[in-house]
Amino acid sequence: MPQPITGVLFDLDGTLLDTAPDMALAANKVLANHGIPPLREHQIQANTSFGAKGLLEAGFDGIPDHLDFPQLRQAFLDYYQENICINTRFYQGIETLLLTLEQHNVPWGIMTNKPAFLTDLLLPFFPLLLKAKAIVCGDTLPLAKPHPEPLLYASELIAIPHHQCAYIGT
């Protein structure tokens, strides 16, 4: 017999928040430093969920052998860290959804692959997100999504059995 859903876990980027504009700004800064034109909208939408790697690979059409990807990624992270919330916004209806969960005492949390240092910088811009019963980042555990361990851990933190949690996101 199916178990009722009594808790909800959300992805952050692309689910609760539209972070694509600010991530694209960071990628475009790195690309511009190498004389590469900015990403086009379809490249941004198709690659933001793959983070720095996806955006930079799209812009460079693959990372050229003569460039060091860890250095490119660090440049992306440095710029993104300094400009974490210029154009990032809640998706339409998310605030209402979270407030409704709160009103009905449904525990909810965030499970993201975004590193903790960036998550910790971003969330204070959205105080409602700080009400999450759990915030599990990409570097909280040794394994990250798509491995199930972070989701199992997040369900423990919100005190809901994993088989009674819904996960919304990618």
Give backbone dihedrals phi and psi of 42, rounded to 5 degrees, phi first: -65, -30
Token digits of residue 164: 């009674």
13 is catalytic: yes
Strands 134-136 and 165-168: unpaired
Nearest to 140, CA basis, from 124, 108, 116? 116
Place of tokens 């052998």: 65
Catalytic-labelled residue, pool 11, 68, 78, 120: 11
Buried b (16+ CB within 10 A) or exposed e, 146-167: eeeebbebbbebbebebeebeb
- Residue 120 falls in the annotated catalytic set: no
Q: In what order do the strands lie in the sheet with 7-10?
A: 134-136, 108-111, 7-10, 165-168
Annotated catalytic residue, options 13, 18, 61, 139: 13
Peptide bond into 161 cis (omega under 30): no
- Give the catalytic positions in this structure: 11, 13
